[in-house]
Amino acid sequence: MLAASILLALGAIGLSLAVGARAVPLADVWHALAHPDLSAPDDIVVLTQRLPRTVIGLLAGAALGVAGAVMQGLTRNPLADPGLLGVNSGASVAVLAAISVWGITSPAGFIWFAFGGAAAAAAVVFWIGSAGTQGASPARLALTGAAVTAGLTSVSMLILTTQQAAFNAYRFWSVGSLTGRDLSTALPLAPVIAVGIVIALAFAGGLNLLAMGDQTARGLGHNVQRTRVVAVIAIVILCGSATAIAGPLVFVGLVVPHVARALAGTDYRWIVAVSAPLGAALLLTADTLGRIIAPPGEVEAGLVVAFIGAPMLIALVLRRRAVAL
């Protein structure tokens, strides 16, 4: 299943580079990558337009897929997504601050603001949720995340309703898009995403013990608090990076772990591993579909993911219910 998922992601990469308003044969795509010639129209399309959004979709999709799997294992909540720990809302407030206070309007300019805001919001949620003698239980993390998200959303709405310039720049980022960004936006965060995926894979075995309950995990000698701290660090790194370069994409981190679980079983070591290529394949496929379903314009990847993800999630729920019955 892991090999099949990787092949699926490679196929999505090929389609992302070849399909669009101007169709480019795969042989020409390979020639453009191996022997670039910026005087050829096809090479210009592939190298300057499709390659950057393909790299961004690959990085953001893999990061969100892995982060969603870790988040669902950490909270034992099948509906957990990057918004649960306030990641999206923290990034949104930071981007709005960058736009309204410092006048930054380019994605390359505010990616670090988005990353910092996502990290700060998740850190606050974990700090509040872990306060007290009981520690960071899944229920407390979920409730704290919902409260922080509500508060930060109110701040975002206040800024958006009082500053028209901030709204105009923010709305394009907030819909979840792979366009309007070049490789200089994505490449600085590529090593960060790679580190987050490695951390998630290294500690995925601990999520199997957390799934049995905190008392059982402690009885088996597992350090529950350490696993939670490391899992939150991985989530912050992955969600913060993906949200910074592609905007708040919701359904990728929600749907992909369910698909990975249906394919790979209940072992989180395999769920996390399979979620990376599946997340990349889903986001790239959504972006490719967005180019061809409404010509001559495009539908943003975040909207297409929602249309794909919602029926997929409903089908998984119904299938699980049928098996249970």
- pLDDT tens for 105-148 read 776 777 788 888 988 988 888 888 877 666 666 778 778 888 89
Which listed CATH number (3.90.25.10, 1.10.3720.10, 1.10.3470.10, 3.10.20.810) goes with 2-324?
A: 1.10.3470.10
DSSP secondary structure letter of residue 187? G
Q: What is the pLDDT of residue 321?
A: 52
pLDDT at 180 over 50: yes
Express as a percent the part of the chain with pLDDT over 90. Answer: 26
Tokens coding 207: 């999520």
From 197, 169, 182, 192, select the one nearest 280 (Cα to Cα): 197
pLDDT score at 193: 94
The alpha carbon of 24 is separated from its chain's Cα centroid by a whole number of angstroms, namely 28
- In this prediction, residues 27-47 reach a mean pLDDT of 88
What is the mean pLDDT of the segment spanning 6-32? 91
pLDDT value of residue 132: 67
Query: Residue 289 pLDDT more than 60?
Result: yes
Predicted TM-score (pTM) of this structure: 0.89
Assess whether pLDDT exceeds 60 at residue 319: yes
The tokens describing 204, both together, are: 């995925």
What pLDDT was estimated at residue 316? 66
Written as one letter, the residue type at 85 is L
**What is the token pair recorded at 45?**
């399309």
pLDDT of residue 273: 96
What is the per-residue pLDDT across 63-87, written as a single tens digit (0 to 9) for each?
Answer: 999 999 998 888 887 777 777 778 8
> Which helix (H) or strand (E) is 208 found in, with range?
helix 204-210
